[in-house]
Amino acid sequence: MAKESFNAYQMAQTQFDQVADLLNLDQATRDLLRQPLREYHFSIPVRMDDGNVKVFRGFRVQHNDARGPSKGGIRFHPQETIDTVRALSMWMTWKCSVVDIPLGGAKGGVICDPHNLSSREQEAICRGWVRQVARNVGEVTDVPAPDVMTNAQHMLWMLDEFETIHGGKHPGFITGKPIGMGGSLGRPEATGFGVVFTIREALKAHGVKIEETSASVQGFGNVSQYAIQLYQSLGGKVICVSSWDQKDQVSYAFKRPAGVDLEQLRSIADRFGGIDKVKAQSLGYEVLAGDCWIQQDVDILIPAAMENQITAVTAPRIQPRVKFIAEGANGPTTPEADAVLKQRGIFVIPDFMANAGGVTCSYFEQVQSNMNYYWDKDEVLQKLDSKMTSAFLAILDLSKTKNLYMRDAAYVIAVQRVAQACRDRGWV
Ligand code: NAD
């Protein structure tokens, strides 16, 4: 992984520039859309358990809100950078647009490592984050959500702080809340299931039976676990998963050619989705170097961990049998690797389509919170399936009629809608 030279924001801008050329966008629209509308950078002082005060850096970036309040998760990560947050905010704009929900794009983050923070310290970071941006976010302006290493509890602390500052109840301010406290049923499953709804449609379009396919997955967190659950329940076989080992500070891949046992792996994973390698070994899994997930002889690859994983260096290791890649993670494929995938004719379901189930369900959560009326789980998942499937089929249709690579087709639809909203509002 060429981490040093990778910049997610440059990658998001490169992808955007290519689509702007395809769409022949005017200069003002390009200038508006290739960077965020607004950014907030701030410090969060926290009294730690040992009595000392530590200052954390926090961010909120609002890329575009022409189609509705901006929306996007808050990531807690030790390697968080403002450019990663910018890129993720931009991808959120395209994601909300491609599934046609009335929201814009934003993202937030704090440079911290929850592995090394007590629950009380994490609560203080959450409340401190809200205090810094309480006037710039809210149900009609910008709606946060969980992302990597943040969860329902973090969202509830943030909501509580927001309501303390503003008074009254504002459940529509944030999504990913716990069930019973304004959360939507189906939200934990939404992103992983959404990935598999698009895989199911892609296979159908290619005349491939899902029960005759196998997959290798990078990551074993929220997205990965639910993607594996639905894919296996539809008959697919996952033979390899990888995860980050916090103690060794490297990733490992866990292989079982007969198919991994999801519940068994869940029982030996920590709350961050790290699989215990010693226990996995004793259960008969072959433990390999983390990057081996990409070189498995399978039909489908599902990167569902981090950005910058399928690169010019790793793409050549993809086996000839691989015909589909469903990007569960945001930004897993670099533009150089994309050129390789394109040339090899691999069918790519791009990140902002494949993983849009999360934000779609977050939108449902916000709708339910604002109505103060909650749907049952089947209703949520059925609405999710229908949104994801129709968005995917629209991209597929455009890609066939205009002979476009799937990522380009998705971008054309998404960027066109946002550009039109900016024009309709008279911004450009
Ligand atoms: P998570 O924190 O629940 O899980 C991340 C997983 O990736 C963990 O299993 C971790 O061990 C693993 N991991 C980290 N670094 C790794 C590495 N180098 N190699 C192998 N495994 C590694 O996160 P998540 O919510 O599942 O999110 C995963 C990706 O999906 C991120 O890119 C995120 O932005 C994106 N995403 C998440 C959602 C959502 O609803 N959770 C929605 C859209 C996109």
Give the tens place of pLDDT for each residue, 150-162.
999 999 999 999 9
The tens digit of pLDDT for each residue in 54-108 reads 999 999 999 999 999 999 999 999 999 999 999 999 999 999 999 999 999 999 9
CA–CA gap between residue 255 and residue 277 (Å, rounded):
11
Which residue of 154, 244, 352 sits with most ligand 1 atoms within 8 Å of its CB, as the best mutation to test the pocket? 244
Nearest to 359 by CA among 156, 101, 136, 177: 101
Measure 39 CA to ligand 1 centroid, in angstroms: 24
> Tell me: the pLDDT tens digits for 260-298?
999 999 999 998 899 999 999 999 999 999 999 999 999
Contact 214, 262 (CB under 8 A): no
H/E segment holding residue 42: strand 38-47
Task: Report the atom number in ligand 1 closest to the C-alpha of 273.
Answer: 9
Beta strands in 246-380 (DSSP E): 250-255, 286-289, 300-303, 324-326, 347-349
Using CA positions, which residue lies closest to atom 5 of ligand 1?
A: 221
Residues in the ligand 1 pocket, defined by CB under 6 Å = 147-149, 191, 218-224, 242-244, 251, 272-274, 290, 304-306, 328-330, 355, 358
Strand partners, 96: none
Residue 148 pLDDT level (bands cut at 50, 70, 90): confident
Q: Using the predicted structure, report yes or no on whether residue 2 has a pLDDT greater than 80.
A: no
pLDDT average, residue stretch 122-149: 96
Using CA atoms of 211, 216, 220, 221 in order, give the dihedral in degrees to the nearest 10: -70
The string of pLDDT tens digits covering residues 3-32 is 457 899 999 999 999 999 999 999 999 999
Global pTM reads 0.93
3-state DSSP percent of the chain in helix, strand and coil, to 5: 50, 20, 30
E strands in 219-313:
237-245, 250-255, 286-289, 300-303
Q: Whose CA is nearest to atom 33 of ligand 1?
A: 329
| pLDDT recorded at residue 6 | 85
Minimal-distance CA residue to ligand 1 atom 35:
329
Residues annotated catalytic, as ranges: 107
- Residue 132 pLDDT > 70: yes
Distance 406 CA to ligand 1 centre (A): 23
Give the up-direction half-sphere exposure of residue 101: CA atoms within 13 A in the CB hemisphere: 30
For residue 1, the ligand 1 atom closest to its alpha carbon is 18
Residue minimizing CA distance to atom 29 of ligand 1 = 329
Q: How far is the CA of 300 from the centre of ligand 1 (A)?
A: 18
The sheet with strand 53-64 has its strands ordered as 38-47, 53-64, 104-111, 70-77, 142-146
Ligand 1 centroid distance, CA of 218 (Å)? 9
pLDDT of residue 134: 98
Ligand 1 centre and the CA of 38: distance in Å? 26
Instruction: Tell me which of 306, 314, 361 to substitute to probe ligand 1's pocket, judged by most ligand atoms within 8 Å of the beta carbon.
Output: 306
State which ligand 1 atom lies nearest to the alpha carbon of 328. 30
**Contacts with 135 (C-beta within 8 Å, 6 or more apart), sequence order:** none
Of ligand 1's atoms, which has the minimum distance to the CA of residue 190?
40
**Atom in ligand 1 nearest the alpha carbon of residue 291:** 19
* Best of 243, 266, 327 for a ligand 1 pocket test (most atoms within 8 Å of beta carbon): 243
Quick one: pLDDT at residue 271? 87
C-alpha 307 – ligand 1 centre gap (Å): 9
Q: Judging by DSSP bridges, how do beta strands 300-303 and 214-218 pair with one another?
A: parallel
The alpha carbon of 21 and the centre of ligand 1 are apart by a number of angstroms equal to 32
Report CA Rg, the chain. 21
What is the average pLDDT across 300-311? 96
d(CA 407, CA 201): 16
pLDDT tens readout for residues 327-379: 999 899 999 999 999 999 999 999 999 999 999 999 999 999 999 999 999 99
Tokens representing 63 are: 């890329």
pLDDT score, position 32: 98
Instruction: Supply the pLDDT for residue 1.
Output: 37
Which atom of ligand 1 is nearest to 330's Cα? Answer: 32
